Structure 1
Amino acid sequence: MKMSLPFALLFLAGVFLTSAEAQSSFSKLPDSYKKGVELALQNVNAHGGVQHHFLFFKSIQKSQIEAGFDVTYIYHNFYLKATQCQRGTENADTTTCAFRNDRPLIDCAICYKTYAGAIEAEPKPYVNCVHKPALTEVMQKERMDHCNKMGYSSGSPTLLAVIS
C-alpha cells in the first residue's frame, strides 16, 4: 500500500513535533523533578533486558509537599519512551536519538525526599517503572500506598493529595 506524499510529510512532521515536545517538556521540568526522572532513566537504561535507550516522554501526574527547612517530598508519574539508539548511548537526546513508535511506553512512578534541591538517601527513593500495557490498577494502588507510607511528615497531607 502506497502512502501519499502529503500524508507522509504530515506524518514526519508529527514525529519531529512529538520529539521536540518531549524534549521541551523535560527541559521545562523544575530541577527537583528532572533529578527524579534522571534517577528513573538510570535504572531503566541499566536494566539487562532493555535493548534501546529510553528518554523522558511526558508527565502524567506531579505533586510535592514543601515540608519546611528546605525539605521537599516529591511524587512524579511519567512516561519514558524507547529511542532508536542502543542502550548505553551517552549524551542522548531526541535530536540524536529519535523516538521509536513500535515499542510500548514505560510508565514510571517515583517518590523521594529532597534537601536543598538534592535527592536524599533516606528514606530511600522509590522508583517503579513498568511497561504500560502490563501496568494494572493493583500495581498503581501499590505505588501510591508505598509513596504515602514512606513516613515523610507525620500529620501533613499525603503526597498524592497535593497536586501541582
Structure 2
Amino acid sequence: MAAWLLFLVCAGAVLYSANAQDLYNQLPDDYKKGVDLAFEQLNSHAGVQHHFRFLRSLEKSDIESGFSVRSLYHHFYLKPTRCAKGTTDSNPQRCPFRNDRPLMDCAVCYKMANNQIESSPKPYVHCIQKPRLTEDMKTTRTLHCQKMNYNSGAPTLLAVSTG
C-alpha cells in the first residue's frame, strides 16, 4: 500500500512538472521574452546556484502605445530545480522541481516594437525569493513599471497643412 501511494505521489509530481513546462510553452512569445530576461538575470547573478523553470503567471498586461509599440508587464513565479545553474535543458524529467527552496517572485516590464524588446527605456526585471518580497518592493515595482509606461510619452504625428 505504501509503495502504491509513493508511486501516485511521484506520478503526480512528474505531471505537475510537465504541466509547468507546458505553461511556459503556452505563453505568447512576447511574454516568453520577458521570462527569458528574468532567466538571464538569475543566471548572471553570482548568488544564484540553481536552475529555474517557469511555474506560472500571476498577472499580465499589454498596453498598446500606438505605432505598433506596446508596454508589457508580467508578474510570475519561477521555481528552482535540481539542475545546476546554467543548465539549458529544462526537461521536467531531467530537471525536476525542488520543493525545499522558495519560489522566485519576478516582475518584468518592457517596451516592444516590431516583436523586439526595445532598449529604451531599459527593460525592468525584479526577481526575489518569495518570502523576502515586501509590500514596499511590490509598490516600487508597480511605480517603476507605470513610470516606464507613461514616461516615454505617446508617439505623435505632426499635422502638416498644405495650402
State the TM-score, normalized to the length of structure 1: 0.87
Please tell me the residue identity of whatever aligns with 1:27: N
**Deviation at residue 17 of structure 1 after TM alignment:** 1.5
Task: Choose 1 or 2 for highest CA Rg.
Answer: 2
RMSD, matched Cα: 1.6
SS in 2 for 1:78: strand
Q: How does 1:65-84 map to 2 (within 5 A)?
A: 65-84=63-82
**Deviation at residue 154 of structure 1 after TM alignment:** 4.6
Distance 1:142 1:93 in 2: 34
Other-structure match for 1:149 = 147
Does the C-alpha gap of structure 1 residues 152 and 35 become closer, same or farther in structure 2, counting only changes over 3 Å? farther
Where does structure 1 lack aligned partners over 5 or more consecutive residues?
156-164
Other-structure match for 1:139 = 137
Displaced runs of 4 or more, over 4 A: 152-155
Distance 2:90 2:49 in 1: 14
**Deviation at residue 118 of structure 1 after TM alignment:** 0.6
SS in 2 for 1:149: helix
Please tell me the residue identity of whatever aligns with 2:104: I
SS in 1 for 2:94: coil
Where does structure 2 lack aligned partners over 5 or more consecutive residues?
155-163
**Deviation at residue 7 of structure 1 after TM alignment:** 2.1
Equivalent pair of 1:55/1:93 in contact (CA under 8 Å): no
State the TM-score, normalized to the length of structure 2: 0.88
1:62 aligns with 2:53: no
Q: Which of the numbers 45, 48, 68 marks the counterpart of 1:47?
A: 45
CA displacement, residues 54-101 of structure 1 (integer Å, 9 cap, x when unaligned): 111110100110222211100000001111111111233324311111
Percent identity between matched residues is 52
Q: How many residues align?
A: 153
Other-structure match for 1:111 = 109
Please tell me the residue identity of whatever aligns with 1:71: V
Other-structure match for 1:30 = 28
1:85 aligns with 2:73: no
Distance 1:28 1:95 in 2: 19
Q: Which of the numbers 108, 126, 129 marks the counterpart of 2:127?
A: 129
Distance 2:93 2:10 in 1: 14
